[in-house]
């Protein structure tokens, strides 16, 4: 019945849609105050009122897609100064947020966000309409107060989001990992911030006017340590999960038990998270040796992203569909750090032949991970579909960046060599 309602609904204009969204949501929610203004769970029933709420949430999602017409009008009218980062970020972000809302949490605490946003858009589109009818209304006085109204709405929404923080911190995390170090702290975000600050500013500034450091001995110890840690995790993952095959290679939910084997898997996921933080030492060595050409967008995005991904893994989904990513990644890192170790011991191994095949191995790794999580987006794996979608998007970007690197590093020089 709900699907029929959606199919036969005529497509609304943006202003009409938002107005209906505002009125419907306010009448259903606030006037009768059936929801708590402080902390409200998502209702999961099928009463006529709850179906109406689902319709409203879906309509709101549709309106966010229609909103991008603003950008089309701006470009067609050559008003490029209005295409700010704020404008683009807002439109793209609201489509993603409303899609998450209608798919996973259609109602509850987030509904106030939609109600306030709809009211603001009624005022805003009303102002745009007035400026088209009468140019006298284009004065900055109106714009100023509409901007103030938007800022007030954002402050109200931010205050309302406190329950979302509660869910992130106390409801959604896996209770089995609460006692693990560096999981329930802001440490990973601090490390990412320091990593970016050191990579882009503090490190190059410190090395300005200094000779490159010779770090061969320290680097040898570091590479041996990385090979041991990654090799241990790879062997442990194979032993606990894939030999014999206890996990589905296609679609695997997160195990939630406390058997010795499941606790060992948790330990492995935590150690993997720790290794991803240790990995940033690579960048320190690069800067202290003044090998700035190695500090590519690919390098920085990969290191920062892996810290965040592994933290999400240990805190929210320690196991399941995400384990294969870790096992493959550990194997690739054993090979990669083994190559680095060989280049430090014997310079003959620095040829591009080795580098080329390691790059191919890395690309194969990300393609496998991408395909593996694509399966979780189309199948009911008992693994958060939203996380799989984010991993598919993130690994797709890595594949693209690696492909660009591979072309410039190996294919293009080969073509130049043939021409000459």
CA distance 363 to 416: 24
Give backbone dihedrals phi and psi of 169, rounded to 5 degrees, phi first: -95, -30
Residue with tokens 């191995």: 361
- Tokens describing residue 57: 């949430």
Q: Which residues have a catalytic role annotated? A: 302
Question: Locate tokens 């067609």: which residue?
Answer: 76
What angle, 0 to 180 degrees and rounded to 10, lies between the N-to-C axes of helices 187-197 and 297-316? Answer: 180
Q: Measure Cα distances from 322 to 192, 214, 298, 366 in Å.
A: 21, 38, 22, 13
- The token duo for 224 is 């041996």
List Cα–Cα distances, 152 to 10, 22, 79, 156, 157, in angstroms.
33, 17, 27, 6, 9
Burial of residue 287, with CB atoms counted within 10 A of its CB: 0-12 exposed, 13-18 middle, 19 or more buried: buried
State both tokens at 319: 């196991």
Q: What does residue 214 show for φ and ψ, rounded to 5 degrees?
A: -95, 110
Six token digits for residue 268: 């492995």
Q: How far apart are the first and last CA of the chain?
A: 69
């Amino acid at each position: 019945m709900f699907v029929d309602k959606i199919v036969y609904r005529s497509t609304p204009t943006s202003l009409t849609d938002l107005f209906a969204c505002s009125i419907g949501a306010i009448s259903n929610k606030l006037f009768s105050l059936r929801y708590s203004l402080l902390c409200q769970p998502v209702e999961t029933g099928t009463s006529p009122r709850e179906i109406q709420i689902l319709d409203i949430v879906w309509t709101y999602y549709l309106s966010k897609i229609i909103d991008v017409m603003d950008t089309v009008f701006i470009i067609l009218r050559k008003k490029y100064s209005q295409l700010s980062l704020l404008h683009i970020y807002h439109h793209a972000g609201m489509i993603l947020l409303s899609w998450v809302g209608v798919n996973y949490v259609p109602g509850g605490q987030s509904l106030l966000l939609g109600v306030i946003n709809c009211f603001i858009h009624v005022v805003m589109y009303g102002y745009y309409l007035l400026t088209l009818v009468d140019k006298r209304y284009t004065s900055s006085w109106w714009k100023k107060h509409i901007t103030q109204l938007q800022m007030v709405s954002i402050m109200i929404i931010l205050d309302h989001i406190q329950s979302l923080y509660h869910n992130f911190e106390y409801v959604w995390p896996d209770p089995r990992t609460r006692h693990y170090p560096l999981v329930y702290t802001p440490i990973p975000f601090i490390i990412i911030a320091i990593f970016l600050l050191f990579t882009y500013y503090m490190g190059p500034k410190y090395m300005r006017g200094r000779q490159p450091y010779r770090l061969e001995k320290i680097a040898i110890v570091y590479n041996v340590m990385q090979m041991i840690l990654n090799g241990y995790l790879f062997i442990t993952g194979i032993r606990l999960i894939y030999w014999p095959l206890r996990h589905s290679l296609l679609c695997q939910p997160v195990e939630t038990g406390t058997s010795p084997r499941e606790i060992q898997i948790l330990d492995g996921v935590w150690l993997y998270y720790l290794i991803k933080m240790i990995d940033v030492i690579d960048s320190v060595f690069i800067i202290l040796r003044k090998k700035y050409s190695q500090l590519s967008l690919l390098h920085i995005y990969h290191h920062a992203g892996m810290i965040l991904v592994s933290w999400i893994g240990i805190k929210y989904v320690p196991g399941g569909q995400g384990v294969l990513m870790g096992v493959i990644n550990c194997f690739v890192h054993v090979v990669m750090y083994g190559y680095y170790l060989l280049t430090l011991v014997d310079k003959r191994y620095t040829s591009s032949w080795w580098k080329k095949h390691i790059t191919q191995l890395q690309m194969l790794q990300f393609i496998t991970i991408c395909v593996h999580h694509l399966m979780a987006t189309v199948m009911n794996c008992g693994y958060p579909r939203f996380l799989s979608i984010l991993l598919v998007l993130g690994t797709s970007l890595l594949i693209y960046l690696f492909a660009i690197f591979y072309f410039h590093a190996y294919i293009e020089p080969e073509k130049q060599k043939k021409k000459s």
